[in-house]
Structure 1
């Protein structure tokens, strides 16, 4: 954070702070605004923003309270869903698509639909996937040029995660980059560099719907398979979904399987470049990968927030939140809370309790694929250490203009062989 950025965060009147501005995340200046809110007003009301009035929950324990009290704080699409931008849930009003999915549902429908896809990440299935992931990660890393500049986001992070998604869906491998595009479009609003209009977003998501409908029609008439589409097509909880609900759940699984892992794969490289002492520690003791992986996920916090809507009046952090109020849990801020996490702004790969972070959420909506994400990152770093001495980041990475996905669009690197 530059001195200018720090001064800006502390110069603005407290009641005028609006941490929802995507520009704060694109230029990586949001952290100091959250630092001030944690100190001065941890449950903060913003009366005016591009998304209407909302509450910011910025401290670890308060976020945990909201995340685990799903009876009071609703995720349901009918109340507004799980993103601060109502337009993304509704797809831009009349021009858009209303796409229900199980993360934007409350109990009991949430639990029923989540259960339909959870076998994909059962321990036995993860064990079966490990050799496939390792083989593919190795092939991607072996294809990289040594001592030449290239974009890590495109060549490694996107390629590995998209290959994994194609496997989970049993999706045509030659078309796998469509999954990356659909993931980006799902979480995008016009003006952020991904789509130009809500109509364009709708058109691209309808292409996704048509593609996946063809795959559904094939799988529903076959014996149940070990892929996500087959699981949805054959589960009693999901086999009678509307087309909109099917597309909503497909997009949820695409985003969930893409953004967390993809941006952590980039963020980890950046963190180790910025902290050469930690890279030296890792080189000396490769077993630290086990604790480094959750530290990468905490440090990066690939999804900056989740939103809820209050179903009744409630008190959080001494503030009264009224029924109908929009409540935003800033996971990124909670992961920097020094009351819970020691030296939270530091990247420390041998933390004693590295899984003490909020990046996967808590309660009934905790990320269903968290162990798969960790496994992919673990394998990536095991294979990196086998091949490269270090990965040098060239210049500043380009970040996503989004208050939801905390990620990267480009990061130039140079890899150095062992």
Structure 2
């Protein structure tokens, strides 16, 4: 099986064709520090209105890209993998300078199902599918519900806590490990690995800035990079150990499906096994964790919607669709044009990068009336594309839906007055909306029962 890393390209310098829309001043989707304040909703609104396909330059002479922000444009790009390839340049904004690439992370992040086109993508996806069907999710629900109860039991006497630490980061890890067949004794390690994976972009950015400035690396950054490398190595070592065990002794779990997958007539080569492990560990946790945290913020800011849900539990499924629309935890996905084409009236040349902003598309007033309003009864909330669209639609979306439903079914039943305090911390990351801390307060359960 061919390796994506052998032929992946950064992209073509542009714009080749005349710009139909202006590059808007003040819009900067590169600076990861700006994303610590949340997604740039105001910029996205300007772009949809004035430049729905906008040429965006890159700093330090990097290859720029077309930023697509309208619902129609993002859906068109997602739905046409022949014209807009995942494999040609990968799904990340830039490959980064060669001297700052972590060799294992680079290989694993490129040689992965999410970066494949055509038949190899379909075949690898099919190998995973038994663990993402409605029937399998049904068998998972009872275990997820039990874990929600256990986690809320630890929160119940506190009255105030960091929801991420106590709940949001732990539930997805439990669910993923149940699917993979990871022993309970090993599951705590996933928390640290995910933290470091979320910091990968910040580490690479700081290294690139220092190299560009000609300065020496500070002792603090050097120490952090050493710790980062240690944790990443440990994560891949563990994945390889588990995959080897499942190849030798397959079990009815997702890990065995990955270990024994056959694509184009052969078992997956080692770089793709690393890639499958990385994709499952990161994507399987991050989106759900941040949606759970984002939902708490939304309900606190919109107490009327919280009251509606507490009064009518039948609204929960649609409420989760609206939560994923509003939060849109994956900020963007990249594609590379394989031929000259056109989106929203803008001509795009073969080889140029195109980046789809999911959150911007999910707040397009042409698709969602009054799009910045959180409405758990929104008639078309399920039409959101927070999990993508077309052949690459997220394979784990039903698993995320299940966890959000079970989480808020019990959270509001046990802590009816729970609310975000206004204190939160968002990681500097322009690929995923990564909430690292979100403080909540509520009446401790025993005090409420006594009253």
Please indicate, yes or no, whether the TM-score normalized by the shorter chain is above 0.5: yes
Provide the C-alpha distance between the structure 2 equivalents of 1:201 and 1:113, rounded to a whole number of angstroms: 30
Q: What is the match of residue 217 of structure 2? A: none
Q: What is the match of residue 166 of structure 1? A: 177
How big is each residue's C-alpha offset from its partner over 1:35-73, in whole Å with a ceiling of 9 and x where there is no partner? Answer: 111111110001233653111000000000000110011
Aligned length, in residue pairs: 404
Q: What is the match of residue 213 of structure 1? A: 240
Q: Cα 1:46–1:109, aligned 2, differ >3 Å: closer, same or farther?
A: same
Does the 8 Å CA contact 2:30/2:58 hold for their aligned counterparts?
Answer: no
Q: Cα 1:114–1:365, aligned 2, differ >3 Å: closer, same or farther?
A: same
Q: Which moved more, 1:287-296 or 1:18-27?
A: 18-27
Deviation at 1:205, TM superposition (A): 2.6
Q: Which moved more, 1:109-118 or 1:189-198?
A: 189-198
| C-alpha RMSD of the superposition | 2.5
Does the 8 Å CA contact 1:96/1:202 hold for their aligned counterparts?
Answer: no
Does the 8 Å CA contact 1:38/1:337 hold for their aligned counterparts?
Answer: yes
Deviation at 1:23, TM superposition (A): 2.1
Q: Cα 1:106–1:198, aligned 2, differ >3 Å: closer, same or farther?
A: farther
Structure 1 residue runs without a partner (length 5+): 1-11
Provide the C-alpha distance between the structure 2 equivalents of 1:397 and 1:288, rounded to a whole number of angstroms: 27
Q: What is the match of residue 30 of structure 1? A: 40
Deviation at 1:313, TM superposition (A): 1.0
Q: What is the match of residue 84 of structure 2? A: 73
List aligned pairs for 1:131-170, cutoff 5 A. 131-146=142-157, 148-170=159-181
Q: What is the match of residue 116 of structure 1? A: 127
Deviation at 1:292, TM superposition (A): 0.4
Structure 2 residue runs without a partner (length 5+): 1-21, 207-219
Helix, strand or coil at the partner of 1:185: helix
Q: Which moved more, 1:201-210 or 1:124-133?
A: 201-210
Deviation at 1:407, TM superposition (A): 2.4
Helix, strand or coil at the partner of 1:320: strand
Does the 8 Å CA contact 1:91/1:198 hold for their aligned counterparts?
Answer: no
Does the 8 Å CA contact 2:23/2:51 hold for their aligned counterparts?
Answer: no
Deviation at 1:88, TM superposition (A): 9.7
Q: Which has the higher contact order (CA 8 A, sep 6+)?
A: 2
Alignment of 1:247 onto 2:274: yes
Does the 8 Å CA contact 2:39/2:433 hold for their aligned counterparts?
Answer: no
The one of 186, 208, 221 aligned to 2:197 = 186
Q: Cα 1:29–1:138, aligned 2, differ >3 Å: closer, same or farther?
A: closer
Alignment of 1:392 onto 2:398: no
**Bigger-Rg structure (1/2):** 2
Q: Cα 1:264–1:246, aligned 2, differ >3 Å: closer, same or farther?
A: same
Helix, strand or coil at the partner of 1:329: strand
Q: What is the match of residue 297 of structure 1? A: 324
The one of 59, 63, 66 aligned to 1:49 = 59
Deviation at 1:90, TM superposition (A): 10
